[in-house]
Amino acid sequence: MAVMTMIKAIQDGMRVEMERDDSVLVLGEDVGVNGGVFRATEGLYQQFGEKRVFDTPLAESGIIGTSVALAALGFRPVAEIQFQGFVYETMDQICSQAARLRFRSGGRFNVPMVIRSPFGGGVKTPEMHSDSLEALFLHTPGLKVVIPSNPYDAKGLLIAAIRDPDPVLYFEPMRLYRSVKQEVPEEAYTVPIGKARIVKEGSDVTLIAYGAMVPMAEKAALQAEKERGIKAEIIDLRTINPLDMDTLLASVEKTGRVVIVHEAVKTGGVGAELIARINESAILSLEAPVVRVTGYDTPYPISSLEDEWLPSVGRIRTAIDQVLDF
């Protein structure tokens, strides 16, 4: 075991898989000699060389298009898009090519590739660097979408993503890169894709979150327990596609009240999909309407205003009271 930050756990996940499997490649802008803009690939170029860790031109569509071809021909590329806000340039390659190739070819080809990208606010970045666009990919069959909330899950989920036979989008909350440390095994291990984690058990309300909103939900739950004795159950989705509805529905049936937290905009977000599925399967278990705590339906604001835009402990705490007092 070693104490790691999330960024170190991500780097270590790539390292152990590259040692295990020669078909694993790393590519993207500045991922080689410089080790990536956040140093997520630091040391990999020196250990594995330029044929397995290589820089690309500043052309996101080219990075993903190249990765699709490499994957179809037997490699396992791990492509980095420097910031999630740049992913719009890659939508054709991801949604029209990577996601469809297994289906289109009748199973003759598959696309075992990972697309890593940092996302989310709270770190005072310039425009287009803090967007939370994960919900765009829920509407594309053929893709898995993974979002870790801690170093242990970050390494285990990344290894599982690299080993997966299909394309996986692996989104990394920037604010958690170096703000959290945790004991992480130095050897390879996997965290299953599609299995949520019960962070804290409770009986009064279910808090559903992922990524950087998980520690935020934990703080709000602690505050609610101190102030009103409310026992909140906290579920970390870990993956938003596929969703672990068995775990979610079991919690909803137990508590009867739900608050969903994500920092992406509200309309058409992950929260909306969760509410629809909860209503389809467990509406008679609800004691109150499901409440969402999200970013607002505006473009991501300038850095001086992001604290007012992002979900906060106070906003989550208010939502907990809202469903309990309904």
Which residues have a catalytic role annotated?
129
CA distance 20 to 76: 12
Please return the burial class of 106, using the count of CB atoms within 10 Å of its CB with bins 0-12, 13-18 and 19+. exposed
Instruction: State the helix-helix crossing angle for 313-324 and 213-228, rounded to 10 degrees.
Output: 50
Instruction: State the helix-helix crossing angle for 151-163 and 6-20, rounded to 10 degrees.
Output: 30
Task: Indicate the SS3 state at residue 81.
Answer: coil
Residue 118: C-alpha distances to residues 23, 76, 141, 148, 277 (Å): 24, 20, 22, 11, 28
CA distance 81 to 63: 8
| Residue 136: HSE in the Cβ half-sphere, 13 Å Cα cutoff | 15
